[in-house]
Amino acid sequence: MRAYALNDQTGVHQIDAVGLVCPLPILRFKKRTQGLPSGTEVEFLADDPSGRRDLQALCEITGHRIEWIREENAGVLRYRICLA
């Protein structure tokens, strides 16, 4: 998967931060979502052990909402986030 892609079938933006370690996954998320409108759905993939805590903190600050979290293969977590 590319670092950033729009899934044409679902209209959901996808951000791949697998293999990156703190603080890079959150920085990538912030950069890729900057300028996207409120209500945009984003799927964020990360495997950094501190990523879940960092993403939850970012969402609390920004008002983004984590819709769900799913565990993928090899410790990768897939987050669905609705942007504020």
Catalytic residue flag (residue 59): no
Do residues 73 and 44 touch, judged by C-beta distance below 8 A?
A: no
Q: Are strands 13-16 and 4-6 parallel, antiparallel or unpaired?
A: antiparallel
Q: Which of 5, 20, 22, 66 is catalytic?
A: 22
Which active-site residues does the annotation give? 22
